[in-house]
Structures are given as structure tokens and as C-alpha cells.
Structure 1
């Protein structure tokens, strides 16, 4: 969807603005004051997924929340740049355009891996991953799913078919249940709006097809900066063990757990997430201007 198509009741619409930063036209929520936090959503979502967490962060920080290229209300300028490397490069360019130096990045799901990759480009002080997707698919899915996404992403009519067939309440509800995170009616409606948009579906499939996490994770797991990985035991998409094992491997990794919540725990229980990450960020970023 184009920025001009944003519904009047879209979360934090009053703080969203269009930013032209090559090669994309970004939609960015900019709220609060203080040290800058960059919030990165996962594949298939948008910055709206942080809607309940943002008000808990803005009393202490300035939060910058972009929709990733082609997803949500960011208009993609290059379909070839949906992989983790070019996406990190384009996010770094967005930060330069905004003239900001993020102190920390909070990434959900694939946004967690993207945050680690961004740390190789920007001088970050800390990273928080929320149910971070840091592992490969298990078994046959590790081969079949990326191949399927690649085929679908280069088939022109597929995004329109997916948007038409999946962009309804019943299907979106089922998709959300498979993540372990049933949402309230307004949250479901926001995801329906995203799934109905062929451009959003196309960018999500493109991201899945171009993501090459296995090529960068061994290197990213050696990053020396502090990393807090928060996982939820009810996540059916990314098991909590992924974060637990990654935190143990990182040079300065920490792990925290929230019981029962699903993959979208930051939407279900933002207060619980904030209760874990705010004290940790305060300790790691003390002295940051």
C-alpha cells in the first residue's frame, strides 16, 4: 500500500511520515524523545505490530519504526533488495537520511536477525530480539519452504491470488492461531488490511525467497555487543529454544522468557515485554545522550 492509503485509524498514524531514502519510499513512525531505538518488525508484518509497545518506550526513548521495504506502507524501489544484506544496507541509509544514530535496535522475528546484521554496519550499543528468527527451518521445510517462496515470488499473479484468497477474517484468524497469538478484533483487522494488499504479499514472499540466514549467522553469532533475546514458551513459529541456544553462544548474550504467549508476544503482552527490556536497556545505554 502507498503511504497515502493509510487508514485514518491506523496505529500511530499521527506520528507516521513518508521518507524518501534510496531506493525506497519509507513509511516511518517517529515518536518520543531521547536516545534513539530502531524497531524492526518481522516478515509479513509492519511497524503497526509495535503499536502497544511504542507508548511504553517513548517516555524514555525516541523510537523510529519503519515498515520494511514493500511491506506495510513502504513502497519498494527495488525488488532485488529483500535479502538480509541489502535490507540492512538500506536501513543504514535510512538512518543516515534521518540523521539519527540508533543506540539500540529491537527486532521481532526476522527483524531480530536483521538487527544483528545491522550491527555490522552501524555502531550500535545493544540489541534486543523478540522471538528472534535466528535458526533455519527444520527437516524438509528447510529445503521446500525457501524453494516454494522463490517460485511464488517470481510468479506475477500469485500475490494477487494470495491477497484475494487470504485477505479475510477467517483465514487471518487461522494464520494468527498457528503462531500461538490470537489477537483482539482490531489487531486482526490490521493484519487483514496487510494481507489484502498484493504489494505487501509480493514483498513478503520476496523477503522469504531472498533471505539467506545460514550464510551470515555464524559470523553474526560472534558480535561482541550486548544482546538480549526474549522468547515466549507458546510461540509456535519460532520455538523458545532458538533464542535460548543463541543467547548461550553469543559473546555477551542474555536470555529472558515470557510464559504462555505466542509469536506476537509484543502485541499480546507489551507490558510484560517492556518490563524485561526497559531495565536491561537502561543499564546497557546508561550515559547515552
Structure 2
């Protein structure tokens, strides 16, 4: 959704905004984005799959494949900051899901977790990957769980960051609002709603100037109608019965201040996954990998080291 910027790039953004150069401002925003990717050792790539779907993804590093899956309304850059600590150890692959970011947006496609799993599995095969580690935030975590349930022999471990798809836990603030007939704050139709979502989804969001938020908001505004449809499909799909007893090693991470999916869900997930451990991060909202990228990476590296020690 959002990423931190280096101060000199933020200064450039502010200068271009003050000068009133809208086009130049957008180019500067892209410059900042490219700099963050380069710093993380990631390269933007594209591929057309045999069945016609177009994926855009980031890739960098060497070693065992680690695929990171962004959440609802997000994109591949949600994981750039945390990936900086991961590319020295793993081959990191971060796709835009079909329906989001720069990947294909077929309007009438099936966007359920199982359908996205089929797409991602085809992507993995096209990249020469037959067994991988999976990480996912929110909807991305739901898709990772579905992938592991459908293809357990192909998933070496799971990194579940405020993962969706287990709906029997306590109701979150977002769920209570929607059930009460209020607006779904995950759907963005104007710049003010995007700014609201930025503070709603994260307890400790990185500082980003409002003009830059407005640039980032445009992708969400353009995609709002499709996102309404996708939200109904993922919200109506539980993976709880599929994953019950799944023995894949799993690190379950939750922000203690998550207002999107209640932190109490972490314990439900822990009960369902017998080889899981739980980390609850204080002062953190729905996106720990953006709010606390260094701690998130350290916790994951420790988790992976523990797996290697048990082999």
C-alpha cells in the first residue's frame, strides 16, 4: 500500500509539488519507488502465462524461493522495505495479484483464493519453481493458506501476516462497521478515502506527504469497482476447514492494534495450525511489514533459521 522513502527523495517530492508540476511530481514519485526497489535488490519483471494472464512482479536475491503475497488493495511494493533484509538470503518473488497493481485485471474473472492459487502456481511453474516458501499479508495470507491446503507438498513454510480467511475469531472494527451498514473503508473512491485508509490500516504509518498519497491513491480509485467485486468473493470464503491440522511450519504475525482483522484471530489460527508460532507486535496495525520492516524481517529470519536447525 505505502512504503517509506529516503529523505532526499521526499524533499524532491515536496519541491516539485510546490512548483505545481503535476507530471514531474508523478515522475519523482516513480523515481522514489524505483530507488526503494533497487535498494532492496529487486527488479521489476513481466511475464505472460500460457493461458494468457499477464503478471508483473519483483524479483531479487538467490537461494530457496520465497513468494510474498500482498493484501487486498495493495500491490507488490508493500513488501519492498522488508525484502531488503531478505534478498541476501532467498530468491524473493513478489507478484501483483491478478486484479491488482500492474498485473491483468480481467473484469469477470474468478478472484476467490482457490482461483488466485491456480494463477500463482502457474506463475511459479513459469519461473521454474516447484516448491517454495510463502508469505502473505491479509488477503495474501488467505491465498497462501489456500495454496498450502491445496498443495501441501509444494509449500515448505508459511509466513502469515495479519492473514485473512479465518472468520471465526472476534469481530474487528472494520467487520463491525460493515455488518452495521457502514462504509467499507478498504474500498477507495477518492483521495480523502485513501488518506483515511492509510491511517486506518496502520497504527504507526510512515510519514508520507499528502500530495504523494494522492498520487498513490489513483491506482485504487481506478480499480474501485473491481475491488468491490473481489472483496465480496474473499470475504465470503473461509479457509478454516481446509487448513485445520495442516502441518506446514508457520509463523503467524499480528499487529496488536489491527483494526481490519481482529488480533484475536492469531490464536484461532495457532490452534488450527499445529506447527505454528505466534508473534503479536505491540503498537502495530494491519501491516507490520510496512510499519516495522526491520523487526518483521528479523523475526522471519529467526523463524527460517529454526527450520534449518530442525532439519
**What TM-score, normalized to structure 2?**
0.76
CA spacing shift, 1:117–1:257, aligned 2, 3 Å: same
Return the alpha-carbon distance in structure 1 between the equivalents of residues 218 and 310 of structure 2.
42
Q: Residue 134 in 1 paired to residue 165 in 2?
A: yes
1:104 to 133, 140, 145: 133
- Give the count of matched residue pairs: 270
Give the aligned partner of residue 273 of structure 2. 250
CA contact (8 A) 2:247 2:274 kept: yes
Structure 1: gaps spanning 5 or more residues = 153-158
Give the aligned partner of residue 85 of structure 2. 56
Alignment of 1:1-289 (within 5 A): 7-10=30-33, 11-12=36-37, 15-21=43-49, 22-77=51-106, 79-119=108-148, 120-121=150-151, 123-136=154-167, 138=171, 145=178, 163=189, 166=190, 168=191, 170-179=192-201, 180-185=203-208, 189=212, 192-211=215-234, 214-285=237-308
Shift of 1:264: 1.6
Shift of 1:211: 1.6
CA spacing shift, 1:140–1:104, aligned 2, 3 Å: closer
Structure (1 or 2) with the larger CA radius of gyration: 2
Cα RMSD for the two superposed structures: 3.3
User: Which secondary structure does the structure 2 equivalent of 1:240 belong to?
Assistant: coil
CA contact (8 A) 1:50 1:266 kept: yes
CA contact (8 A) 1:36 1:101 kept: no
Return the alpha-carbon distance in structure 1 between the equivalents of residues 142 and 276 of structure 2.
14
Return the alpha-carbon distance in structure 2 between the equivalents of residues 198 and 218 of structure 1.
34
CA spacing shift, 1:76–1:287, aligned 2, 3 Å: farther
Return the alpha-carbon distance in structure 2 between the equivalents of residues 228 and 221 of structure 1.
15
CA contact (8 A) 1:84 1:211 kept: yes
Return the alpha-carbon distance in structure 1 between the equivalents of residues 310 and 275 of structure 2.
19
Shift of 1:212: 5.5
Return the alpha-carbon distance in structure 1 between the equivalents of residues 211 and 307 of structure 2.
35
CA spacing shift, 1:197–1:239, aligned 2, 3 Å: closer
Return the alpha-carbon distance in structure 2 between the equivalents of residues 131 and 139 of structure 1.
12
**What TM-score, normalized to structure 1?**
0.81
